[in-house]
Structure 1
Amino acid sequence: RMDENYILLPHGVNFQEAIFPDTQENRRMFASLFQFSNCSQAQHVLSFSSDWEIQEDNRLMCSSVQKALFEEEDRVKKLQQKVATLEKRNKQLRDRVKKVKRSLRQARKNSRHMELVNRKLSEKLSSAGGQIPYINS
């Protein structure tokens, strides 16, 4: 819609048609955020006058809604910080696991190499055991 000066006006809101289905889960989810019962004063139809923005601001400044929105924003901010911290810690732990796995592979490789060297030395000693004269005999 446009006014007489061809300025676009926001469209009206149909309060009969629900955006979200009326389920218990949705009621629980939105209960803390949208408590319009203290704010609406039984005026569900918005009048689009020249001070429509002021009316909209006043409606949004309703203390209970504003408080709920601020609380939700704070909660979201805290959760985002917690998620960032946990992701950072998770990356640190993954890096540590990679290093430990690398060290374990290297230790196993060194162990196999040392076993091979020991086996070769044992074979040399056993084959040369009869050939080496003992000094004390």
Structure 2
Amino acid sequence: MASCARRDLRDAVHRLVDVGMTESDISRVLGVKRLAVWKLLVRAPQIVPDGFADATAYGICERYSAGYIDGDELARQLSRWEFAPMQWAGSLVEDVGPVEGTFSSEMGQALRDGLIDGELYELVLNAQQP
């Protein structure tokens, strides 16, 4: 939940700068030091695709776990999510390791971190099958 709020705050601070607010103005409004605002600004905002709750599948799972979206909405969003293709190492014994953005890296990590359960994992996996 804290990571969702942190991303939302970072993205909001970027939007405030985009509309002309200075770091000093933002720090005064938020009641934080200017350095805290600067730290938020050095990280690029994430682009959240239209119709999705977050910029990554893992982030959508975080929002589900935090109670921002329900299981039906999670399933709807992730059944339409375009995961990165799996990488083939050329050998069944050679492992390329986790590749960022693939189903197994994003959803596997969400499952391991307890953000989703096995039932939701299987539901999304089945929705991804052609």
TM-score of the superposition, structure 2-length normalised? 0.19
The higher-RCO structure (CA 8 Å, 6+ apart) is 2
Higher Rg: 1
TM-score after normalising by structure 1:
0.18
